[in-house]
Amino acid sequence: MGFSKKEYDVIIIGGGITGVGTARDCAMRGLKTLLLERSDFATGATGRNHGLLHSGARYAVNDPDSAAECIRENLILRRIASHCVEEHDGLFISLPEDDLGYQYQLVEACRSCGIPAEIIDPEEAKRIEPTVNPALTGAVRVPDGSVDPFRLVQANELDARMHGADILTYHEVIALITQANRVEGVKVRNTQNNEELEIRGKITVNAAGIWSSTIARMAGVEITMFPSKGALLIFANRVNKMVINRCHKAANGDILVPDGDVTILGSTSDRVPISECDDVRVTPKEIATLLREGTKLVPVLSSTRILRAYAGVRPLVAEDDEEAGRGISRGIVCLDHEKRDGLAGFITITGGKLMTYRLMAEMATDMVCDKLNVKRRCETAVIALNEATDQTRKAISRTTYKGLNSLPGKDDAALWTSAESLYLCECEKVTLGEIKDLIASGQVETLTQLRRRTRMGMGKCPGRYCALRAARLMCSVGGKTTIDCGRDLADFINERWKGIYPITWDTTLADAQYMASVYKGLCGLDKFQTS
């Protein structure tokens, strides 16, 4: 491995959307860039949110700066990442128990932030969104949408690589190399073989999300993070056409986001200790709260099957005496530790949200360039992700080519043989050819990695049949042993089970028992030792 022999202009810690976005921006400006991720891409808050393409309306009343950032980035993402975005608008609805005056306050605040917001007649709202609670007394239409965070991360990662960035996953930063009040690089450990190495860089950017405080502490500086846990539910049908928000002060279970063939209900907000952030679980109490509030938005949710529950942790920055996560700004925090703490060569970018990742990356990269006296300006707002150039076509696999969906006129038949075009995962329309390509290229070594890159196993079944088929390909194409594939399959099913067991009642319980009989009874997965 030659990484320890290179000296980079910038080392970025964290493989969430902010980290990969910063790697893309830095690489586009000609910087020698390295991105480090201790696990896989989008394993933190990036892969554990409701996928809302924020208009900013939710923040307009109490956090106008964040709201203005959201609408600007909303419009940019629609241009540069149309293959990751679904445009369908959103409604803020008032119910009889809500103060109808709040919608006028909301509209005024939205307009002052540059967010198009229109009060519409409740009957019109019911016409354009038939599943909405018919008891609504008011409605406001805003330009919300949805965004696929996994595809967005993949697009930024590919773009960063194409512009020359080096990217290392499964490399955990265990120390920052400091000398004379300056960070000069990082010491990392390969989590798969425990090999350690030192990598030098002129600037180190801490983009580790909620774990930013842990990284900063390695350099002897403190960042007060507020880990705010948010629980969410995925329903097996797309019950609403548009995003539906409750038109009142932000609270639990007040937003419903349509996402492909499913619907996501979110979220809660509870402070959790940093020690729990690596393994957050959803509780029955949180599920009850979400269902109680969610059915007020769309009553049919009470009889709609739940696929799974999951939770993420928002990387909020706050003082120790803050009592509740919803009162803390969702604004961006970009820290120059040379000015703040007398520690040169070290920057932290945190806070914000999925919607503002590109702006966060621009802010961090601007600071890096200023310190390195690089005069190139940011172009990520005007250059589309993975534009269809000849270089793009040569640089990416058939799988990525199809998955990015930004190259028009290409369908499965144009990329794979008739046999390869068969769907291995029917729910998410993932073909046999895609899976074989990724395994053969060495880009994935586990089923979970495969899931994050193709959405295999994230559909309505969830992974009941496709996981077993993919595991077989890991053996035949990837050259893994039967024991290794069995252990990987067991890990995959156990990870999926984390989100299923909290909602195992009614038909979900019967489905879980059936799945257990298949994988334990027929496949004997309970005999494999899992990680």
pLDDT in tens, 424-458: 888 888 888 888 888 887 878 899 998 988 888 88
Which residues partner with 425 through β-bridges? 430
Q: What is the mean pLDDT of residues 288-301?
A: 96
pLDDT level of residue 403 (50, 70, 90 thresholds): low
- Do 100 and 161 lie in a common domain? no
Q: Is 60 helix (H, G, I), strand (E, B) or coil?
A: coil
- Do 411 and 505 lie in a common domain? yes
Residue 168 sits in a domain whose CATH number is: 3.50.50.60
pLDDT digits (tens, 9 = 90+) for 12-71: 999 999 999 999 999 999 999 999 999 999 999 999 999 999 999 999 999 999 999 999
Q: Which of 356, 357, 358, 374 lies closest to 366, judged by CA? A: 374
- Do 236 and 361 lie in a common domain? no
Q: Which of 237, 251, 264, 247 lies closest to 51, judged by CA? A: 264
- Do 405 and 296 lie in a common domain? no
Main-chain phi, psi angles of 223, to 5 degrees: -125, 125
Taking the C-alpha atoms of residue 377 and residue 463, their distance in angstroms, rounded to an integer, is 44
- Do 300 and 338 lie in a common domain? no
Q: From the DSSP assignment, how many helices (H) and strands (E) are in the chain?
A: 17, 22
Taking the C-alpha atoms of residue 12 and residue 322, their distance in angstroms, rounded to an integer, is 29
Share the mean pLDDT of the chain: 88
State residue 409's pLDDT score: 38
Q: State which H helix or E strand residue 173 sits in.
A: strand 171-178
State residue 394's pLDDT score: 47
pLDDT for residue 373 is more than 80: yes
- Do 99 and 25 lie in a common domain? no
- Do 514 and 430 lie in a common domain? yes
Quote the percentage of the chain above a pLDDT of 90. 60
The answer to whether position 380 is within a domain reads no
Residues near 266 by beta carbon (within 8 Å), at least 6 away in sequence: 49, 50, 230, 231, 232, 233, 253, 255, 257, 290
- Do 440 and 502 lie in a common domain? yes
pLDDT level of residue 400 (50, 70, 90 thresholds): low
Structural contact between residues 251 and 297, judged by C-beta atoms closer than 8 angstroms: no
Structural contact between residues 255 and 246, judged by C-beta atoms closer than 8 angstroms: yes
Buried b (16+ CB within 10 A) or exposed e, 304-313: bebbbbbbbb
Pairing mode, strands 183-190 and 196-206: antiparallel
- Dihedral angle computed from the Cα positions of residues 301, 304, 310 and 312, in that order, rounded to the nearest 10 degrees: -30
| One-letter identity of residue 48 | R
| One-letter identity of residue 523 | C
Quote the percentage of the chain above a pLDDT of 70. 91
pLDDT for residue 329 is more than 70: no
pLDDT for residue 201 is more than 50: yes
The answer to whether position 133 is within a domain reads yes
pLDDT for residue 384 is more than 60: yes
State residue 417's pLDDT score: 67
State residue 443's pLDDT score: 78
- Do 135 and 263 lie in a common domain? yes
pLDDT level of residue 410 (50, 70, 90 thresholds): very low
Taking the C-alpha atoms of residue 317 and residue 332, their distance in angstroms, rounded to an integer, is 9
State residue 16's pLDDT score: 96
Which residues partner with 119 through β-bridges? 140
| One-letter identity of residue 13 | I
Q: State which H helix or E strand residue 43 sits in.
A: none
Q: Report in angstroms the alpha-carbon separations of 114 from 55, 89, 145.
A: 10, 16, 17
The answer to whether position 66 is within a domain reads no
Main-chain phi, psi angles of 17, to 5 degrees: -65, -35
pLDDT digits (tens, 9 = 90+) for 116-162: 999 999 999 999 999 999 999 999 999 999 999 999 998 999 899 99
- Do 159 and 239 lie in a common domain? no
State residue 392's pLDDT score: 47
Taking the C-alpha atoms of residue 111 and residue 105, their distance in angstroms, rounded to an integer, is 10
- Do 434 and 504 lie in a common domain? yes
Q: Which domain holds residue 487?
A: 390-527
pLDDT for residue 238 is more than 70: yes
The answer to whether position 50 is within a domain reads no
Output 410 or 1, whichever has higher pLDDT. 1
Q: How many domains does the chain have?
A: 3
- Do 17 and 98 lie in a common domain? no
pLDDT level of residue 78 (50, 70, 90 thresholds): very high
State residue 397's pLDDT score: 54
State residue 268's pLDDT score: 93
Residues near 332 by beta carbon (within 8 Å), at least 6 away in sequence: 69, 349, 351, 352, 356, 359, 360, 363
What crossing angle do the helices spanning 447-454 and 466-476 adopt, rounded to 10°?
120
Taking the C-alpha atoms of residue 212 and residue 18, their distance in angstroms, rounded to an integer, is 12
Q: State which H helix or E strand residue 7 sits in.
A: strand 7-13
pLDDT for residue 82 is more than 60: yes
DSSP secondary structure, 361-420, as one string = HHHHHHHHHHHHT--PPP-TTTSPTT---HHHHHHS-HHHHHHH--STT--HHHHS-TTT
Residue 324 tokens read as: 């509740």
What is the model's pTM?
Answer: 0.90
Residue 336 tokens read as: 């120059």
Structural contact between residues 172 and 191, judged by C-beta atoms closer than 8 angstroms: yes
pLDDT for residue 321 is more than 70: no
pLDDT for residue 275 is more than 90: no
Residue 241 sits in a domain whose CATH number is: 3.30.9.10
The answer to whether position 123 is within a domain reads yes
Q: For residue 310, what is the DSSP state?
A: E
Beta strands in 24-155 (DSSP E): 33-37, 52-53, 85-87, 90-94, 118-120, 138-142, 145-147
State residue 454's pLDDT score: 86
What crossing angle do the helices spanning 482-500 and 466-476 adopt, rounded to 10°?
160
| One-letter identity of residue 35 | L
Taking the C-alpha atoms of residue 390 and residue 378, their distance in angstroms, rounded to an integer, is 23
pLDDT digits (tens, 9 = 90+) for 470-510: 988 888 888 888 888 889 998 988 888 888 888 888 888 88
Q: For residue 41, what is the DSSP state?
A: T
Which of the given ranges, 6-10, 382-386, 420-424, 525-529, has the highest pLDDT on average?
6-10
Taking the C-alpha atoms of residue 374 and residue 30, their distance in angstroms, rounded to an integer, is 9
